[in-house]
Amino acid sequence: MSIKLGDTAPNFQAESSVGDINFYHYLGDSWGILFSHPADYTPVCTTELGYTAKLQSEFDDRNTKVIALSVDGVEDHQNWVKDINETQNTEVRFPIIADKDRTVSELYDFIHPNASATATVRSLLIIDPSKKVRLIITYPASTGRNFDEILRVLDSLQLVDNYRVATPVNWVNGEDVIVPPTISTEEARKIFPKGVTEIKPYLRYTPQPNT
């Protein structure tokens, strides 16, 4: 199955490091991040999961639940978490799905045969509260992900869902945003009381509405 932006993220039932999980029940009304790992006890994954654990309060602030996946079993996951906590000086609290039969990996297209016939690629999805897929990023197994970028995209997605704006290149929370072309400058000046700066008729900025 190939999942694309805007698709409904499929539900699944699976074992995890913290017990059996129904994906939809786990997410509830929250945003979600599902990210896959090639295997347990791998160095790049260890650093990723450790850093993600350190960002727990950031995800909590954004009403976002994190869940990881690896094709190894529950016991391996639980022992690996101990290593992660020790080596990364943190505490992993989010679940790691045990996907030994690769059911979830196949469901979410995490195995790319031309990269590896058995190991999952380093994919990450952001899923909104209505269970729609809003971001898909896939890295090679050798390259660790940038979770500061994941937070940045999450901020952008949550902002544009609440306000009629877009975010420019390298935007971070608190900076000016872009007025979409679908809004006239006249209308924009009414919608955005903080002001509108017109660089070109199609390129207009306004201060971030919720700051």
Q: Active-site positions?
A: 45
Instruction: Tally Cβ neighbours within 10 Å of residue 89.
Output: 10
Nearest to residue 70, comparing CAs of 42, 90, 51, 50?
Answer: 42
Rounded CA gap, 54 and 56, in Å?
6
- Cα four-point dihedral sign 31, 10, 1, 37: positive
> Helix, strand, or coil here: 144?
coil
Name residue, tokens 């306004």: 206
CB 167 within 8 A of CB 210: no
Tokens of 65: 């639940």
Q: How many helices (H) and strands (E) does the chain have?
A: 7, 10
